[in-house]
A and B are shown apart, each in its own frame.
Chain A
Amino acid sequence: TQLLEQSPQFLSIQEGENLTVYCNSSSVFSSLQWYRQEPGEGPVLLVTVVTGGEVKKLKRLTFQFGDARKDSSLHITAAQPGDTGLYLCAGGSQGNLIFGKGTKLSVKP
């Protein structure tokens, strides 16, 4: 059974701080997606990484896929209250997604 361990589960920080969310597995994935979900809404795709060692940047968000394609990280620089939400990582394998449990981020002004 493929599992994705996501940490931390909860994170409360002040505006302007940096943070990193981790997603780890013992399994190899063909791709890794990061989603952000607001309460009462569906997840919105932020990025897909497919190559081991790949780094993608989306404004203040930096996503990295591990060399062995078993882990990934999301780093947010200078967090803002608008970054508040549930961040989900998901490992792709033959069309299916294995979700981590999510990181609930709260950025206080």
Chain B
Amino acid sequence: GAVVSQHPSWVICKSGTSVKIECRSLDFQATTMFWYRQFPKQSLMLMATSNEGSKATYEQGVEKDKFLINHASLTLSTLTVTSAHPEDSSFYICSALRATDTQYFGPGTRLTVL
């Protein structure tokens, strides 16, 4: 099967600091990766689409300067939450596109901003 990892699995940080989350496709190459945000008891909300070698495409309402995305290789995309605040606390999930419409998800990263 297709395996996607995320690191860290959880992180606690102080308000105003930046946090980087890594998403890796372990057994396949992914030119496209996605970043989602999920609040408790809610479904996944797409934040941005990450394309290898080009700028990410952000969904409406998502600040690109706050959520920095870098897709440096075919197996790694990173999401950096800059100047994090308590309202940024959430469950962040990445996915990697393997076939035309099939995404494989990472295990998620729980971010808590104090």
A64 vs chain B, min Cβ distance (A)? 17
A14-22, A53-61, A77-85, A91-99: which lies at the B interface?
A91-99
Total residues of chain B contacting the partner, CB 8 A: 24
Q: Could you tell me if B32 and A95 are in contact, using CB atoms closer than 8 angstroms? A: yes
Is residue A45 within 8 Å, beta carbon to beta carbon, of the partner chain? Answer: yes
Is residue A44 within 8 Å, beta carbon to beta carbon, of the partner chain? Answer: yes
Is residue A51 within 8 Å, beta carbon to beta carbon, of the partner chain? Answer: no
B42-50, B64-72, B81-89: which lies at the A interface?
B42-50
Q: Could you tell me if A92 and B101 are in contact, using CB atoms closer than 8 angstroms? A: yes
Among B34, B43, B46, B105, residue most surrounded by chain A Cβ atoms (within 10 Å): B43
Q: Could you tell me if B107 and A100 are in contact, using CB atoms closer than 8 angstroms? A: no
Given contacts A95-B32, A96-B46, contact A43 B93 (CB under 8 A): yes
Q: Could you tell me if B97 and A95 are in contact, using CB atoms closer than 8 angstroms? A: yes
| Cα of A74 to Cα of B11 in the assembled complex, Å | 35
Residues of chain A in range 27-41 having any CB-CB distance to chain B below 8 Å: 30-31, 33, 35, 40-41
Is residue A88 within 8 Å, beta carbon to beta carbon, of the partner chain? Answer: yes
Q: Could you tell me if B43 and A42 are in contact, using CB atoms closer than 8 angstroms? A: no
Q: Which A residues touch B102, using CB under 8 A?
A: 31, 33, 45, 48, 92
Q: Which of B42, B44, B46, B110 contacts A43 (CB 8 A)?
A: B44
Is residue B112 within 8 Å, beta carbon to beta carbon, of the partner chain? Answer: no
A51 vs chain B, min Cβ distance (A)? 13
| Cα of A104 to Cα of B41 in the assembled complex, Å | 9
A binding-site residues for B, Cβ under 8 Å: 30-31, 33, 35, 40-45, 48, 50, 88, 90, 92-93, 95-97, 99-102, 104
